[in-house]
Amino acid sequence: MYSDLNEIQLRVQELYPTAVWHFPFSLTFLLTSGYLLLHRFLVKDKSLWKLLFWASFFFYSANVVRLVFFPLPINQEYNELWAVLVRAGYRSEARHNLSLFDFMKWDNLWHWTTVGNFFLLFPLGFYFPLIFKTRPWNVFKVCWSGFMVSFAIELFQLAYSYYVGYVFRSFDVDDLVFNTLGVLAAYLIFVLLKFIWWSFNKIRNVLRRV
């Protein structure tokens, strides 16, 4: 169908505008605004703090989806042609990593992707105990929950890479480690802040009795 790789590249560029879904940052604001309106009209509890809390969680979740899944190639012809270019060496592709601490081989400890993976799920360390208040939380449960969220993301990236025929987004065990550590660090900060707040209230109540 195509005589050479240059023609394939031109066809890939031609397909790109409609073959790849994008999730711009501005869209997260629009979606969050829509959520705010729905929450305001549909939820009985009109507390401003709860409204802002849930809006922040929605905004954060939308941005996680935007960062880990998009841009998303959805056109079969585009994916097949891209896979041809990758196999021919005309296009670079990511690589899956099943080796723990592989980032150390490439001196990537402070690389933006490594730091980004640490902070990607960091807010969940605060959101988990605040959203699921009736559930008793501890370090193990927070780590396990953060790990499972991270694993679900990595598993989707792995599955979609097999679907499109090339490494769309890599499955990386180091991502699992840093995502989980980020959730754990946030939870420890949450516990510390909660203890400080509890101590402050206790001291204030004692002073009131004096």
Task: List the chain domain ranges.
Answer: 97-210
**CA 184/CA 17 separation, integer angstroms:** 40
pTM: 0.86
Burial class (CB in 10 A: 0-12, 13-18, 19+), 178: buried
The radius of gyration computed from the CA coordinates of the chain, to the nearest angstrom, equals: 22
Question: Does residue 121 carry a pLDDT above 80?
Answer: yes
Question: Does residue 170 carry a pLDDT above 70?
Answer: yes
Question: Does residue 183 carry a pLDDT above 90?
Answer: yes
Instruction: Report which secondary-structure segment, H or E, holds 48.
Output: helix 48-69
pLDDT value at residue 193: 94
- Considering the chain, what percentage of its residues have pLDDT values greater than 90? 49
pLDDT value at residue 67: 93
